[in-house]
Every structure is written in C-alpha cells, then in structure tokens.
A = this chain, B = another copy of it.
C-alpha cells in the first residue's frame, strides 16, 4: 500500500504531550515574547491572564517539535515494514491559528492532528494535498491551541 492510500480522512494521530515548566516559559518569552505575563510570576498574577503562562508562539513551537518527531518515528517504522519512504512537501503556511485559553505553568498539553481532507493535486502529477487540523488540549480537556494546515504528499 502507498503511504497516500494508507491515510484515512477523519483519522486522528496523537503527536505527544508536553508539560510547560516555568523556566522554559520564561526563557522562550525573554527571546521571543517579552510580555510580563510570560516573564514573571508576580507580574502575571496581577495581569488579565491571572498567572504565568506560555507565549502562544512557544506552544506552537512545542507542537511543531512533537509533529516532526512523530513524523520521523512514523517514517522509520513505515520503511522498516518494507514500504517506500513517504514523500512530503514543505508546508506553505497555516490558517486559523488560535489560542482560545492560556497555557499556564505546569499544564500538560496533548497535541493531536486529524486529517480532514485529501485530494489529488491538479497542478502536480504524482502529488496530492493533505488538509489537517491540529489541536492542543490541556489536562482539564480544554482546547488551548488549534490551527488548520495543508501539505503536499506523494500519491504513488
């Protein structure tokens, strides 16, 4: 079976979980998002967010790492099982990137990716387009992160 044919629309895959530690939250914020509620517990307590929480871009970065690690592990198993390597193209971007709730220090966020559509590419023979929704959910079951993405994938 080709990698393309093995993919089922509606199927979710768990990318992994991550616990957001205070040091990591502050280190990321100092470099990329130096707002008080990402940098300092006391300032965060008095802010609209009520406590130290991760930059939304930090959450996105952690999700990306888990996604890459998951893809590498999957491809390794897929090839070890005697299949041809999956061919994936780079992503041109994402849309509807949302942070509906803060990620507070100590929260465990579990990221999942669900394939929402697959279609042959009109312009690139031998390639198709995968569409997917990625979610981050905290230990209380609340969605804290989501986006929709698309990527080229070889069909043969």
**Residues in A lying within 8 Å of B, measured CB to CB:** 28, 31-35, 48-49, 55-57, 60-62, 64-65, 68-69, 89-100, 147
Q: B99 touching A96 by the CB < 8 A rule?
A: no
Q: B93 touching A33 by the CB < 8 A rule?
A: no
In the complex, A41 Cα to B57 Cα: how many Å? 25
Copy tally for this chain in the complex stands at 2
A121 to chain B, nearest CB (A): 16
Across the interface, which residues of B come within 8 angstroms of A99, CB to CB?
91-93
Across the interface, which residues of B come within 8 angstroms of A56, CB to CB?
91, 93
Q: A95 touching B96 by the CB < 8 A rule?
A: yes
In the complex, A95 Cα to B147 Cα: how many Å? 9
Known: A34-B69, A97-B94. A57 touches B48 (CB 8 A): no
Dominant SS among interface residues on chain A: mixed
Question: A34-B69, A55-B61, A93-B98 given. 4 additional CB < 8 A pairs?
Answer: A35-B68, A48-B90, A56-B91, A97-B147
Q: B92 touching A95 by the CB < 8 A rule?
A: no
Q: B68 touching A34 by the CB < 8 A rule?
A: yes
A146 to B, closest residue via Cβ? B93
| Interface pairs A-B: 5 shortest CB-CB | A32-B61, A93-B98, A57-B61, A33-B64, A32-B65
Q: A32 touching B97 by the CB < 8 A rule?
A: no
In the complex, A68 Cα to B57 Cα: how many Å? 13
Across the interface, which residues of B come within 8 angstroms of A93, CB to CB?
56, 96-100
Across the interface, which residues of B come within 8 angstroms of A100, CB to CB?
92-93
